Chains A and B, each alone.
Chain A
């Protein structure tokens, strides 16, 4: 299937731990994103990479570090997890940065206890 896929889908972890969420797209897109959906279902962009280069970096704590080893992958590493990090994290991709549809992954449900 052609898609944006992310792993894990569900993650429960303790405060203070470090965790990663992986994202891969096989759509041939050159731009990838991380969005966060909070408990109130509000969606906000966190990061965007175009051809492995960071192009959008919203006001996100530096405990969050994206890494793009190639243009088909964009991973999100989170250090020292806090309760407030509990959310659904969506990976997305598009071809180019202008004028093209953004496709989303299924989301990764992170719960910090």
Chain B
């Protein structure tokens, strides 16, 4: 069965500092990985998916199959990045999204 682990429940950085939100996964097949963001009391929004390899709001994430990781990075954090971030894995043969437990990012002024 697939599993997604986000080891940090809380992460606090100062504005302008680099930020990395960790995500590790276990899945026997070839996974599709996503990062979703949830701003305070709002819907989950797709931030990134690994197959598109794009940068959204300055965030990037690279799939490392050797380390089974999909860490989210931003070189200079902004206050408006404060939110809950979820890493998610989608099985290639179906529609189920398995979420990590989420990391609450706080960017301090």
Contact = CB atoms under 8 A, between A and B. Distances in A.
A50 interface: yes
B56 to A, nearest CB: 13
Q: Most chain-A CB neighbours within 10 Å: which of B46, B49, B97?
A: B97
Nearest to B42: A106
A102 interface: yes
Nearest to A104: B44
B79 interface: no
Contact of B96 (A40, A56, A103, A105): A56
Q: Most chain-A CB neighbours within 10 Å: which of B32, B41, B95, B98?
A: B95
Interface string A19-35: 00000000000010101
B32 A99 contact: yes
Contacts of A41: 84, 101-102, 104
Interface residues of A, number: 28
Interface string A86-113: 0000101010111101111111000000
Contacts of B45: 104
Given A97-B95, A102-B97, A43 B49 contact: no
Given A31-B95, A90-B43, A104-B44, 12 more contacts: A4-B43, A42-B102, A43-B99, A45-B96, A48-B96, A56-B95, A90-B44, A92-B44, A94-B95, A99-B92, A106-B43, A107-B42
